[in-house]
Structure 1
């Protein structure tokens, strides 16, 4: 999924404190690999001229990363595949819910704008990297605004990764009980602890995720990126097929019976066929513009689904025949492919369940039609992918925390284990006590995702690209982009908090 939302999302540098390996993750992932500092002078005259600004940092310190610049070795097609992996993530599961609360037309408008804005921020980031002389997101922040910029970049990436981890564990919480129930053919689930999602999340975290996360070299787990993308393609195919297998009138009649039995004294059998047909037609009619209390989650869910910016610079560094134009072509193809994938998943999911879509689409199928063998296979594939992906996502978070707090200290298994356990405990608490995955998508999308897509790339661009005056069209565009990001973040966060307060006071929906 889970490239499954997909922190997603890119490669992160490993200090000498941890073994240097290359990982590919999904969404939702992060490549942790040996960092390569850019050293470029006359030795590489054949390299694209726009990259000749990359210089070796002279004050990196003994714990920093010091390897020579090298020409990229990854083909154009593989770079598209890697970036697509970084984009696609667990956020795809919430898109049908977003469409159900915006309407088809408004959703397409929002999806188009978010994808275009994300692509524009990639342009800003690549140009800033060339001018700023660094291929590290955090290092660009440090060059632009000192420690505050570095903390902002590191904090946003860490929050996004924690959001991705939480969304993956939410999938375990939602889906694993249904898989166990189907495999064991259990009807009565009362009192069975192993069908309690909270207990299962803790068990999976303790037995599987923690041991894998404690390894210094995750190695083979990098292949979960490809597994996640394949899983998402399979998921999309199933969503499209199920649209034609689940008849809407049957579902509408089911809802009508459920509603009438709960709210009227007369039994549903006395409802006239005329009323039934009218209700069925109302239920099965798609809406194009919807505004309600849940509409505020649409933009954060979309921004969460398109965050891949920590992956952009590592993929750019590895691109064969590296140039900014070539990397932008990679980005355009990847974003367009994910735009189509997101649109189809959201549209067919919405047209299957309409207003009954839950915040996690896969769970909606069980609530409405139960579990068949195809859905069971999808769930198993998703569960395996997300379980193996969580340790990959933990790696860059732990590395970032280690560099911030203990950059000059030698590797310690005690510190390594303590940070890992703290990250996992915090994420489990979020999954257990946060009501729905929608809240994770909403909060992270409105905060960290907005920072990574809108605010940081434009702020770094304005500060580091010196050759363009502030009154130039490019700088004015970046400034407007920065201001729009601030408005989106503050507005979305305010509306989401108001919705939480409204629910807490008993207002409900």
Structure 2
């Protein structure tokens, strides 16, 4: 692919004078003197999104349905091990974004697929686009799966009913996700620029902050042990009067622990921090874009989500301990279907995940445009058609796949390490010229090791999950 002109400097086969520009100049020309070049590139236009709105969009891309499973993850690792894993994934995510931005600075491109093309030609472009598509379709499916399962229960609770025996259409999750997709998600997904979603992303984050505050509040208002949990434990073989294990262990926080479910913890945490497909589109639309400024957006977003994830997991775990469900909201339902605060929290989470879907859809559409129509200018028919087709496919998956848990685990164990570790590492090694950094230089060795860590992570995660499947052990949705 022919490389761009950058800020009036022609780029030939070499990389002369590139060091300073890659790190400090804006990659995409939007000055008056380079207007002619702007018309020929898919991603070239003047960034208009503020620093704060970019943080909202990237934070919203990071935060997703994975936050509901973090308390369960902590129950299967222990507090200390969970914090170590969470902090490690957060730091590695920030480093991988640094590699992405550095690679993008070298070639003057801000699309993941273009980096793949620059590193490995057309196969690299197809690989990057395919991984982004699969991963984000999985993420969109997980969000809509929450809408499918939770929205009927919320409507039912608002109506003051204990069951949905009438079979009304408005209590059918399949109908509801179609309505939500058509009335809310599709109009937002049709916006031309991702930056416009900053306001909805901010509102979505506010809903999740309310969720976090409620989790903390409930920790100090729910007794331990809860009678229902005690009875559930009795039902599986501890119904004698000598309940030492139940009494001693139920309200005891574990610092380190391991069981069959621990294998899912690292994929869940990795999946929870994947925002890399959205990084370059957000960078493209950032006002006064530089690598340092975009890295600041990424660091603030990752730090905010790290704090939010940690507090949610910690207080959720310290509320229910070993009996926390794999989806935290399901655990609170045991307090009673008509608990007003829990009902409001469930509604807030529904709003948050619904408003996150359009942000996740943008990178898929960009990947498909880069693969199928790389030289075509923007056209509303393609813009609308791809958004509609993606939502149609995702709705079919959510309607006909009975459980998304195993798919979620597989995606977290394959596409997540590819996007966080492998692709940024190998792109950096291939793209950054040896004139700037020799192959055996420290940055390239670190990037290569980083990519290798991703392969190790993928193999170990897949191995643990396959062993768990073949062992025949119970992988129920409840806690232990």
Kept after mapping to 2: 8 A contact 1:38/1:134 = no
Q: Is residue 2:274 matched to residue 1:307?
A: yes
> Paired residue for 2:210?
234
For 1:96, which of 61, 71, 78 is the aligned residue?
71
How far apart, in 2, do the equivalents of 1:327 and 1:55 lie?
A: 14
- SS at structure 2 position matched to 1:116: helix
Q: Is residue 2:262 matched to residue 1:295?
A: yes
Please, which runs of 5 or more residues in structure 1 have no aligned partner? 1-36
Q: Deviations over 1:99-122 (max 9, x none)?
A: 111111111111111111111111
- SS at structure 2 position matched to 1:248: coil
Kept after mapping to 2: 8 A contact 1:359/1:436 = no
Kept after mapping to 2: 8 A contact 1:111/1:302 = yes
Kept after mapping to 2: 8 A contact 1:141/1:150 = yes
- TM-score between the two structures when normalised by the length of structure 2: 0.82
How far apart, in 1, do the equivalents of 2:203 and 2:280 lie?
A: 23
Q: Is residue 2:229 matched to residue 1:255?
A: yes
How much does 1:454 deviate? 0.3
Q: Is residue 2:96 matched to residue 1:127?
A: no
Q: Deviations over 1:136-164 (max 9, x none)?
A: 22111111111111112212221222122
5 Å-filtered alignment, 1:301-380, equals: 301-319=268-286, 322-380=289-347
Please, which runs of 5 or more residues in structure 2 have no aligned partner? 11-16
- SS at structure 2 position matched to 1:311: helix
**Cα distance, 1:385–1:52 mapped onto 2, change above 3 Å:** closer
**Cα distance, 1:436–1:283 mapped onto 2, change above 3 Å:** farther
> Paired residue for 1:400?
367
How much does 1:244 deviate? 0.8
How much does 1:258 deviate? 2.9
Q: Is residue 2:248 matched to residue 1:281?
A: yes
Q: Deviations over 1:257-282 (max 9, x none)?
A: 23434647xxx6xx54xx35652231
5 Å-filtered alignment, 1:29-428, equals: 39-41=6-8, 49=21, 50-52=23-25, 54=27, 64-65=41-42, 67=44, 76-190=51-165, 192=167, 194=169, 198-204=173-179, 208=183, 212=187, 215=190, 223-249=199-225, 251=226, 253-261=227-235, 263=237, 271-272=240-241, 275-276=242-243, 279-319=246-286, 322-406=289-373, 419-420=386-387, 422-428=389-395
> Paired residue for 2:463?
494
- SS at structure 2 position matched to 1:288: coil
- TM-score between the two structures when normalised by the length of structure 1: 0.78
How far apart, in 1, do the equivalents of 2:248 and 2:5 lie?
A: 62
**Cα distance, 1:285–1:171 mapped onto 2, change above 3 Å:** same
Q: Is residue 2:438 matched to residue 1:475?
A: no
Q: Which range is displaced more, 199-208 or 444-453?
A: 199-208
**Cα distance, 1:387–1:111 mapped onto 2, change above 3 Å:** closer
Kept after mapping to 1: 8 A contact 2:104/2:110 = yes
How far apart, in 2, do the equivalents of 1:463 and 1:64 lie?
A: 23
> Paired residue for 1:30?
none
- SS at structure 2 position matched to 1:294: helix
